[in-house]
């Protein structure tokens, strides 16, 4: 958390200077070159749909109807393997050739093909291996869509229904929010922990989401489109005070704010900002450091 030394915060909207123990701290002035140097980004404060959400912990899993085992109906010996672990295959693509143990001259051979498109995520076969009927040679999964399976407490069951949208975040990609939809509510309650499993289906075109990843799911219960909001990334906190930096011309003023409702992306601002204020969302820490030094950039070493 940011450590600040401010001792007096004025109760104004966009007023003047702040008295501190070391003197007066005024606005930070930054040229266009300096703004580019710290990759400064701004957003305009204004109405934004603010979601009321039900937060759940879950796990990424494959869709049951998007996986397939590849096996044999005959016994024989593997003569050739055409696919490897991690390969992307299409329906009908050849995977393995097996020479049958049936009598013949030469013995008949069978080419096994992929029953569906997807990724080979398990390979259990090598050249020369003797195989029997129903031996699973490969496992194929289509990961273009996946599930997050989460648990809802019994007391929250009345808040959810199939068709609700959700936002999914995983630790591996903290900056990404994946859109999903609630597709299934388990008909059975777990009597031990009083929870019900739910399925949230997510498009996964780049296969970023992988089975067994931990996931945080926010099911959207309702939206308030009238709230004055800013992104959570714009808000900083020091000494128990929340504040943002607002641009006025080429200067940036530290403005204390009061935060109301929030979701995983935006926060409602109930005091301190007006619609149209341009608020720093990226580069705020650098601006704050300059503010601590009296509004001047630190000297280069």
Report pLDDT digits (tens) over 180-203: 999 999 999 999 999 999 999 999
12, pLDDT greater than 70? no
Residue that has been written with the tokens 């503010």 in this structure: 291
pLDDT at 213: 98
**H or E segment to which residue 279 belongs:** strand 278-282
> Residue 111: which region, alpha, beta or left (left: phi > 0; alpha: psi -120 to 50)?
beta
pLDDT range class, residue 101, cuts 50, 70, 90: confident
Residue 4: band (very low, low, confident or very high) from pLDDT cuts 50, 70, 90: very low
* E strand or H helix at 34: helix 32-37
Q: What pLDDT is recorded for position 295?
A: 60
Q: So what's the pLDDT on residue 14?
A: 53
- The reported pLDDT for the residue numbered 227 is 83
**Segment 126-182, tens digit of pLDDT:** 999 999 999 999 999 999 999 999 999 999 999 999 999 999 999 999 889 999 999
Per-residue model confidence (pLDDT) at position 107: 66
Per the listing, tokens 């930054």 go with 30
Task: Give the pLDDT of residue 226.
Answer: 79
Q: Which residue has the higher pLDDT, 291 or 107?
A: 291
**DSSP letter (8 states) at residue 190:** B
Q: Quote the pLDDT of residue 158.
A: 95
Question: Residues near 62 by Cβ (< 8 Å), separated by ≥ 6?
Answer: 141, 143, 146, 147, 211
Q: What is the domain partition of the chain in residue ranges?
A: 18-49+226-292, 53-63+144-223, 66-141
Q: Tokens 């008909």 — which residue?
A: 187
Measured in degrees and rounded to the nearest 5, phi and psi for residue 269 equal -110, 115
Residue predicted with more confidence, 268 or 10 = 268
> Tens of pLDDT along 205-255?
999 999 999 999 999 998 877 789 999 999 999 988 999 999 998 899 999
Report the alpha-carbon distance of residue 69 to residue 6 in Å, rounded: 64
Calpha distance 126→111 (Å, rounded): 14
Tokens of 55: 């937060």
Q: Do domains 53-63+144-223 and 66-141 have the same CATH topology?
A: no
Fill in the DSSP letter of residue 218. Answer: E
Q: Do 14 and 27 touch, CB atoms closer than 8 A? A: no
Q: What is the DSSP string of 11-71?
A: --SS-S-EEETTEEE--EE--HHHHHHTT-EEEE-EE--EEEEEEEEEEEEE-GGGEEEEE
Q: Is 188 exposed, middle or buried (0-12, 13-18, 19+ CB in 10 A)?
A: exposed
SS3 241: strand
The domain defined by 18-49+226-292 folds into 2.40.420
Q: What is the pLDDT of residue 128?
A: 95
Q: Which CATH architecture describes the domain 66-141?
A: Beta Barrel (2.40)
Class of domain 53-63+144-223: mainly beta
CB-CB contact of 89 with 140 (8 Å)? yes
Give bridge partners of residue 201 from the DSSP assignment. Answer: 147, 181
Give me the residue label for tokens 């939809």: 181
Mean pLDDT on 272-289: 93
Q: Report whether pLDDT(17) > 60.
A: no
The Cα–Cα gap between 183 and 146 comes to 12
Query: What is the secondary structure of 123-179 as a DSSP string?
Result: E---TT-EE-TT-EEEEEE--SEEEEEEEEEGGGGGG--TT-EEEEE-TTSTT--EE
């Amino acid at each position: 958390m940011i450590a600040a030394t401010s001792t007096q915060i004025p109760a104004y909207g966009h007023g003047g200077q702040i008295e501190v123990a070391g003197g007066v701290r005024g606005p930070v002035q930054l040229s266009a070159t300096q703004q580019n140097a710290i990759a400064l980004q701004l957003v305009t404060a204004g109405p934004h749909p603010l979601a009321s959400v039900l937060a759940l912990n879950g796990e990424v899993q494959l869709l049951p109807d998007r996986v397939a085992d590849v096996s044999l109906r005959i016994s024989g010996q593997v003569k050739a393997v055409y696919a490897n672990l991690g390969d992307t295959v299409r329906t009908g693509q050849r995977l393995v050739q097996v020479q049958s143990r049936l009598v013949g001259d030469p013995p008949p051979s069978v080419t096994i093909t992929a029953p569906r498109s997807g990724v080979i995520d398990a390979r259990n076969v090598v050249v020369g291996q003797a195989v029997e009927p129903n031996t699973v040679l490969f496992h194929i999964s289509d990961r273009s869509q996946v599930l997050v399976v989460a648990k809802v407490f019994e007391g929250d069951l009345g808040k959810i229904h199939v068709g609700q949208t959700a936002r999914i975040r995983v630790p591996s990609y903290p900056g990404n929010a994946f859109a999903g939809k609630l597709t299934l509510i388990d008909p059975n309650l777990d009597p031990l922990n009083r929870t019900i499993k739910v399925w949230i289906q997510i498009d996964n075109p780049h296969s970023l989401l992988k089975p067994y990843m931990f996931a945080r799911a926010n099911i959207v219960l309702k939206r308030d489109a009238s709230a004055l909001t800013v992104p959570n990334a714009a808000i900083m906190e020091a000494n128990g005070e929340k504040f943002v930096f607002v641009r006025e011309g080429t200067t940036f003023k530290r403005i204390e704010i009061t935060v109301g409702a929030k979701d995983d992306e935006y926060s409602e601002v109930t005091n301190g900002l007006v619609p149209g204020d341009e608020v720093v969302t990226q580069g705020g820490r650098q601006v704050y450091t300059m503010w601590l030094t009296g509004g001047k950039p630190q000297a280069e070493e």
